[in-house]
Chains A and B, each alone.
Chain A
């Protein structure tokens, strides 16, 4: 059953067209990875889905709801779409626990005690029960990103967006974040991931979409894309990635 449908999405910043007609679909429980060189429009595509960036033309539907319909409440929409950022973007003045309870209390209206309890559960899920009272500045990058994932999960979204979740991390911290993501995929979360993390893509992705200059050049399951890419551009890019030690 289709959870996300992206149809012929165009987006320009000034004269530069970043997305030139992107279309794809995701079923519930799918894990799709967006790959492509920097500037190819991956992050823009992701941000168009929860309207952090607005599209110019085309359409996006989440669970049947037209994302860009004037009737659609953008704040309600965003509760259904969790987002994990490259720079973590944890609320710097709040503890790990409070980062999670803020949305529960202020967006979902969950009472304090229950919010705390639920937030603690989510922290435990990402292995950070002991860090509940730590501030972001006191956490490692990997820990911060795991809190970021827990914060998004706490809103019980239908879809999780990951915008290069590991690219700001020191290499030795990538593993702990990938592990949490893999665990999430196994539990059936629908995930759209912008990442060059080949290990994750190979083991967890159902489909990989290769984006180049605003277009999806090639899509397919990881084994197909990695072993027998149809386009020269795809194979060039993947070869480059592998030689960079990913």
Chain B
């Protein structure tokens, strides 16, 4: 009850924290998102006649390649003294190599975000009842919730995706649904991936929320019951609003994990970020460029998610509950 008690929020603050005082990091993110939004608007929304060709980069690669080449030649002629120049030439060469793949990576990033957001959101909807059942349910409900959580957390996500995609008739069923894969409606494999991430993330989120619910003082529910609220209403109006606030830091970790784990969807043919990077790399043999580039994309997404969750944590903070300023 007292404000001095250590909360879950203080114990599990392991999310990537970003120093917003560093303007270059923020500028990088702004540039990344600006470009990404521009790219998506162009590729997905603008009619073909108006749009910039969707398989073509906004910035041509040729000038970078030429500059890299001439710098490299100069560096070679200078001998050992040309080493710094050679590094710059190398960077320019990297940029030149990366530019043509950017439109595909932007499309992949879109799917990565769709998978992550859907998985987290639908997973959350399942995780709340799962965790409540685990903490407040009767024997049967507790057992059911625990079994589900252990089953999911005890098996590899990739195996779960394979079972859903290859093992169950899920694919055939989804394929029959009219509209799937048309326009903005994702294709079958994407739906399977969303189902997989939802089921998987629900188990992990339920664990974070469960431990947060357990850290809500038992007297809170007692007080709720004492004014005549039913147990369900007491949980809904008193325990959950507090528990979910405590859960935010741990829950942010799950979001960050899911951004990266969504790359496993590539193995069931979803053309997300990792799939795009790998297939271009396979075609062009530019493995280093593509995987470094993909890593930068993931980094930008993860850092953005962390910033967003820090913001959510601050906005929902209440004196005495959650938030860094009170900690």
Chain A residues with CB under 8 Å of chain B are 50, 52, 75-76, 78-79, 81-83, 85, 87-93, 102-103, 106-107, 135-138, 151-152, 155
Number of A-B contacts (CB under 8 A): 83
Q: Is residue B237 within 8 Å, beta carbon to beta carbon, of the partner chain?
A: yes
Check B219 against A89 for contact (C-beta < 8 Å). yes
B241 to chain A: which residues have CB within 8 Å? Answer: 93
A89 to chain B: which residues have CB within 8 Å? Answer: 1, 217, 219-220, 222-223
User: Which residues of B in the span 219-264 have a Cβ within 8 Å of any Cβ on A?
Assistant: 219-220, 222-230, 233, 237-238, 241-242, 245
Q: Whole-angstrom distance from the CB of A241 to the nearest CB of chain B?
A: 26
Partner of A75, one of B228, B242, B320: B228
A85 to B217, CA, bound (A): 13
Partner of A93, one of B222, B225, B227, B245: B245
A106 to B230, CA, bound (A): 10
A153 to B236, CA, bound (A): 23
Check B223 against A90 for contact (C-beta < 8 Å). yes
A52 to chain B: which residues have CB within 8 Å? Answer: 222, 225-226
Check A78 against B227 for contact (C-beta < 8 Å). yes
Q: How large is the interface on B (under 10, 10 to 19, 20 to 34, 35 or more residues)?
A: 20 to 34
Partner of A91, one of B223, B228, B326: B223
Check B1 against A92 for contact (C-beta < 8 Å). yes
Check B1 against A87 for contact (C-beta < 8 Å). yes
B223 to chain A: which residues have CB within 8 Å? Answer: 83, 85, 89-91
Of all chain A residues, the one with the shortest Cβ separation from B238 is A91
3 tightest A-B CB contacts, nearest first: A137-B320, A89-B223, A103-B227
A92 to B319, CA, bound (A): 9
Given A92-B1, A93-B241, A138-B319, A78 and B219 contact (CB-CB distance below 8 Å): no
Check A91 against B225 for contact (C-beta < 8 Å). no
Given A106-B237, A137-B3, A93 and B226 contact (CB-CB distance below 8 Å): no
Interface string of B208-220 (1 = CB under 8 A from A): 0000000001011
User: Which residues of B in the span 291-325 have a Cβ within 8 Å of any Cβ on A?
Assistant: 318-321
B228 to chain A: which residues have CB within 8 Å? Answer: 75-76, 78-79, 103, 107, 155
